[in-house]
A and B are shown apart, each in its own frame.
Chain A
Amino acid sequence: GAGVSQSPRYKVAKRGQDVALRCDPISGHVSLFWYQQALGQGPEFLTYFQNEAQLDKSGLPSDRFFAERPEGSVSTLKIQRTQQEDSAVYLCASSLETIWDGEQYFGPGTRLTVT
């Protein structure tokens, strides 16, 4: 079956623009995670959904970052008024399990460059 897909794969935004990044998890996966990965670093947690409920958003760096998963499947990460420090790869992962002990399936990521 299909894995986790993300779109767009690459996004260039001018500083101050708003962007929306989409994640299509594996069908039936309850948990969905967003991570930010800077060049040469490990993924850094942003937020976690269980179905449509956002259970943890402690990793969102500022109130310019907003994520939603309204119907418990597709999720969108929105960044308002982008800044250069937002440049990174944004990874989405989904898991069949409702707890953190499950295998996470990662998407290929969206590389965001803010100029």
Chain B
Amino acid sequence: QQPVQSPQAVILREGEDAVINCSSSKALYSVHWYRQKHGEAPVFLMILLKGGEQKGHDKISASFNEKKQQSSLYLTASQLSYSGTYFCGTEGNAGNMLTFGGGTRLMVKP
């Protein structure tokens, strides 16, 4: 079942912070975050695994609440380059395929 992302869209001024949420109705093994700019390929941001392990870029911050089956992506001091659509992908059990959410559109204005 597809995870639900919120908000669906957000507009920021440069330097402002944002939080993007991803929620699933089933138990999760991992959550993956990607950013996609219009007409381009999705780009990897972070993987959060059950048990606390994280893989990703140092400048990206995220959390994974296993009990609530939720993950949040934290964007601080936003830059123009942060604009794009953010997708979370969830893995229900280890070795299962990713199911992506509908995306959160982020626009950062000068």
Contact = CB atoms under 8 A, between A and B. Distances in A.
Interface stretch (B11-19, B63-71, B72-80, B95-103): B95-103
Interface residues of B, number: 25
A113 interface: no
B44 A104 contact: yes
B74 to A, nearest CB: 19
Chain A at the B interface: SS class:
loop
Contacts, number: 60
Given A41-B103, A42-B102, A103 B41 contact: no
Given A100-B91, A101-B47, A101-B49, A91 B42 contact: yes
B97 A43 contact: no
B94 A45 contact: no
Contact of A100 (B40, B97, B100): B97
